């Protein structure tokens, strides 16, 4: 009986050991996958999100709201912040769509604000409230 008991114990121990080994291997395996996943996610994000700054004409905080709203209306724009003092609009977007920057400028020009590349239609500019009538380059000459 002693031998049987001993061999049973031995078998049980080796079973427990192999179970622990499997669990350890699984844990390492899983944590490696999780780390790899997180890392690839982070690198993928930092690789595909682009930040650009565009000059956009405007005057006040009403302009700020209008400009940011027009920029955010473009599909794929992650963030848009316009600075009243510097007149610079900072946008974050997925760089897999290269037309994004153009679309933002077109959208903003359409509502009356001249950008680096696009002039707003006169009708849109004239429709802006008086406080929003920034100096236009074309008017200056
Ligand atoms: Cu304004």
Number of independent structural domains in the chain: 1
Asked whether residue 85 is domain-assigned, the answer is yes
pTM, whole model, 2 decimals?
A: 0.66
**Residue 2 burial (10 A CB sphere; 0-12, 13-18, 19+):** exposed
Please indicate whether residue 138 or residue 114 has the higher confidence score (pLDDT). Answer: 114
How close is the Cα of 110 to the center of ligand 1, in Å?
15
For residues 48 and 100, give the distance between their C-alpha atoms in angstroms, rounded to a whole number: 13
Displacement of CA 90 from its chain's centroid (Å): 12
> From ligand 1's centre to the CA of 30, what distance in Å?
54
Q: How far apart are CA 5 and CA 113, in angstroms?
A: 88
Residues with a beta carbon under 5 angstroms from ion ligand 1 = 59-60, 62-63, 132
pLDDT greater at residue 78 or residue 139: 78
Distances in Å between the Cα of 15 and the Cα atoms of 22, 27, 90 are 10, 18, 61
pLDDT at residue 141 above 50?
Answer: no
Ramachandran region, residue 55 (left: φ > 0; alpha: ψ -120 to 50; beta: rest): beta
Task: Give the residue numbers spanning the domain of 91.
Answer: 50-140
Does the pLDDT at position 3 exceed 80?
no
Q: What spacing in Å lies between the alpha carbon of 7 and ligand 1's midpoint?
A: 87
Q: How far is ligand 1, taken at its centre, from the CA of residue 58, in Å?
A: 6
The verdict on residue 5 lying in a domain is: no
d(CA 89, CA 53): 5
| Domain annotation covers residue 29 | no
Read off the tokens for 15. 């079973």
59: CATH? 3.30.70.100
Could you read off the pLDDT of 58-117 as tens digits, one per residue?
999 999 999 999 999 999 899 999 999 999 999 999 888 889 999 999 999 999 999 999
**Residue 134 covered by a domain:** yes
- Cα(56) to ligand 1 centroid in Å equals 12
In a domain, 102, yes or no: yes
Residue 8 within any structural domain of the chain: no
The pair of three-digit structure tokens given for residue 106, joined into one six-digit string: 């077109």
């Amino acid at each position: 009986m002693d031998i049987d008991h001993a061999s049973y114990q031995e078998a049980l121990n080796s079973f427990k050991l192999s179970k622990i080994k499997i669990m350890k291997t699984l844990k390492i395996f899983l944590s490696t996958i999780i780390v790899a996943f997180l890392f690839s996610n982070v690198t993928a994000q930092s690789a595909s999100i682009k930040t650009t700054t565009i000059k956009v004409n405007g005057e006040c905080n009403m302009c700020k709201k209008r400009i940011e709203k027009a920029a955010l209306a473009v599909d794929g724009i992650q963030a848009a912040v316009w600075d009243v003092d510097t007149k610079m609009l900072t946008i974050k977007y997925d760089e897999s769509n290269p037309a994004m920057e153009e679309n933002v400028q077109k959208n903003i020009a359409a509502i009356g604000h001249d950008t680096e590349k696009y002039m707003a239609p006169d009708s849109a500019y004239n429709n802006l409230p008086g406080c929003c009538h920034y100096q236009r380059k074309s008017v200056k000459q």
